[in-house]
Structure 1
Amino acid sequence: MEDGKRPTILITNDDGIDAAGLIALVQVLVSTNRFDIQVCAPDRERSAVSHSITWLHPLEAKPVNIPGASAYAVSGTPADCASLGISKALFPTIADLVLSGINMGSNCGYHVVYSGTVAGAREAFFNDIPSISISYDWVRGKSNVHDFTLAAEACVPIISAVLVEIKNQRHPQRCFLNIDVPANVADHKGYKLTKQGKSMFKMGWRQVTTETHGQKMSSTMTMDIDTATPTETDTTFVSPEHLLFSREAKGAQLDDDDDTDHKFLKEGYITVTPLAALSPAEADCHAYLKDWLSSVSELPSSSAL
């Protein structure tokens, strides 16, 4: 970041370029008049695609009008969008910071693995660009679109502070940040440094049927994290010989530790969790497998059966 120049921020997400969370984040940052804003986001909803990328065919990038920003809708995943946005192929300058969000729904614990929002920030991290993924703990029936604006405003101090660290070359290069904003954002309890926990919703499957040939049925669904209620979001035609299965919630797995992201988020804190690309196994697993692998090499292959 050059002295005297305004920082450049690239924004992406996984809910799509017209999602309320992304628009609120852009509007809040533009209103500060302190940043140059680039937007490179999926042209449609891409939730839970994790870190998938487009490999075998080109992407289409279409200019869109978002006041105060230079913006493109891209026919790719969040990781594609982050990669394209910082490549200099789309924008003439490389952003100083990449933001991914604001996601509609929290991204804590094991859900981080599925998250396209987190993947957008992780892709920037892969390319040595500081990044932050931001999610809002949307609760159906309680949250409203204005909460995204409050969430964005609550994150501006962190975003600004990170940019100061980048300018002064003090920002850590071995991690990126994952921020979750609580549902009651207007009365949040402040920032809390946390670690990624193991919370997640256990998912199962149930077979669903069609009453008539060619009837339209749900093929995908989203889930309200708090109520675990399936919501139909897409449809497909199903022929009689096909089996059709739908996901359903089977309950929640919560954290045992006291300093995890999900726990403090539910207590009303804005959680700030450092993440990295690697997912090392627990130390006891490594110790066990070291002894186990030594024993394997000493045994004839047939003895394991």
Structure 2
Amino acid sequence: MAEESNRSTIMITNDDGIDAPGLRALVNSLVATNLYNIQVCAPDSEKSAVSHSITWLHPIAAKNVHIDGTTAYAVSGTPADCTSLGLSKLLFPTVADLVVSGINMGNNCGYHIVYSGTVAGAREAFFYDIPSISISYDWVKEKSNLHDFTLAAQACVPIISALLVDIKNQRYPQKCFLNIDVPCNVANHKGYKLTKQGKGFINMGWKQIASATEGRKMSSDMTNVDKPAHADINMSSISPGSLLFSREVRGSQLDHDDNNDHKSLQEGYITVTPLAAISQAGEDCQNYFKDWLQNVSECPSSSAL
């Protein structure tokens, strides 16, 4: 019992849901080390692309579930809800030393980070001054398979272990959290590479449809799948006469900076990108609006013209 109390504690969350293969592979890989206390606090269903939304207007439910080697709860809220509830000491007796969110099905690079529930799970821990990591695997249809999640987890265990050593020795920098992306061909990855968040963006458009049965669900890897979108929504909430629209992917805009996350990921590296809660506007924008705002304050208001 004393040995267990001296172990570091890791809390795991995600946005694909508590039954997702990425989360289970991560849990199994960490449990197999027999080095850590593992807590799991994850959404009870898929919550992909919910960004950093939180539940505010109604209560959420948490149900104890069995996952070997862990204490685990399935929560009816968002990834950010799961992290904050898991760190509240209302579910677990101790606050985790490290929060790991993932492993997501699909990469989280560039501007896509803003939409990501996986990244939000780690960012929420950052708000509470708890070290955290988000992990995503670059799932590619017809190339990837479920065993790749295990390989991705195993490839990230050294990073997790090294971070916990730094946390224990109080060397971990408190001004950032880490976003990790694992390449599709994880079995032959080129190693770890420190990168910067790029400006890559997935172009998503809208298509008007005649009925909800025409819509196709957007999967967690940001591609359209054949599963009808209406399977996940309450059809009674759609009033007669409403116009119906379905999202669809229309390509992507790539960032060709040599050191950005997406380009390095496609080259086969496991990308490690430090992030902060918010990004500051560039110095050129600060300078522009400094003069601009001064001019605004000196102009007469439009109502006086």
By the TM > 0.5 criterion, same fold?
A: yes
User: Which residue identity is paired with 1:163?
Assistant: L
| Correspondence for 2:281 | 281
1:113 and 2:114 matched: yes
Question: SS where residue 110 of structure 1 aligns?
Answer: helix
TM-score, normalising length: structure 2 = 0.93
Write the distance in 2 (CA, Å) between the matches of 1:209 and 1:247.
14
1:164-212 CA-to-partner distances (Å, cap 9, x unmatched) read 00010000000000000000000000000001011011111111113xx
Partners of 1:131 and 1:176 within 8 A in 2:
yes
| Correspondence for 1:253 | 253
Q: Cα offset for 1:286?
A: 1.3
| Correspondence for 1:27 | 28
Distance change >3 Å, CA 223–CA 67, structure 1 → 2? closer
Question: SS where residue 262 of structure 1 aligns?
Answer: helix
| Correspondence for 1:158 | 159
State the aligned residue count.
Answer: 298
Q: Name stretches of at least 5 consecutive residues in structure 2 with no aligned partner.
A: none
Partners of 2:4 and 2:37 within 8 A in 1:
no
| Correspondence for 2:91 | 90
Q: Cα offset for 1:77?
A: 0.3
Q: Cα offset for 1:290?
A: 1.0
| Correspondence for 1:66 | 67
Write the distance in 2 (CA, Å) between the matches of 1:233 and 1:24.
28
Write the distance in 2 (CA, Å) between the matches of 1:83 and 1:30.
23
| Correspondence for 2:191 | 190
1:77 and 2:74 matched: no
| Correspondence for 2:144 | 143
1:45-103 CA-to-partner distances (Å, cap 9, x unmatched) read 00000001111222111011111110000010000000011111110011110000000
| Correspondence for 1:243 | 243
User: Which residue identity is paired with 1:144?
Assistant: N
Write the distance in 1 (CA, Å) between the matches of 2:176 and 2:4.
25
CA RMSD of aligned residues (A): 2.0
User: Which residue identity is paired with 1:271?
Assistant: T
| Correspondence for 2:44 | 43
Write the distance in 1 (CA, Å) between the matches of 2:220 and 2:63.
30
User: Which residue identity is paired with 1:185?
Assistant: V
User: Which residue identity is paired with 1:197?
Assistant: G
Partners of 2:79 and 2:117 within 8 A in 1:
yes
Distance change >3 Å, CA 46–CA 3, structure 1 → 2? closer
Partners of 2:105 and 2:220 within 8 A in 1:
no
User: Which residue identity is paired with 1:32?
Assistant: T
User: Which residue identity is paired with 2:54?
Assistant: I
User: Which residue identity is paired with 1:24?
Assistant: A
- Of stretches 173-182 and 277-286 in structure 1, the one that deviates more from structure 2 is 277-286
Distance change >3 Å, CA 97–CA 233, structure 1 → 2? farther
Instruction: Quote the sequence identity (%).
Output: 70
Write the distance in 2 (CA, Å) between the matches of 1:216 and 1:246.
10
Q: Name stretches of at least 5 consecutive residues in structure 1 with no aligned partner.
A: none
Partners of 1:9 and 1:36 within 8 A in 2:
yes
Question: SS where residue 258 of structure 2 aligns?
Answer: coil
Write the distance in 2 (CA, Å) between the matches of 1:3 and 1:26.
17
| Correspondence for 2:218 | 221
Write the distance in 1 (CA, Å) between the matches of 2:127 and 2:152.
26
* Larger helix proportion of the pair: 2
Write the distance in 1 (CA, Å) between the matches of 2:220 and 2:69.
33
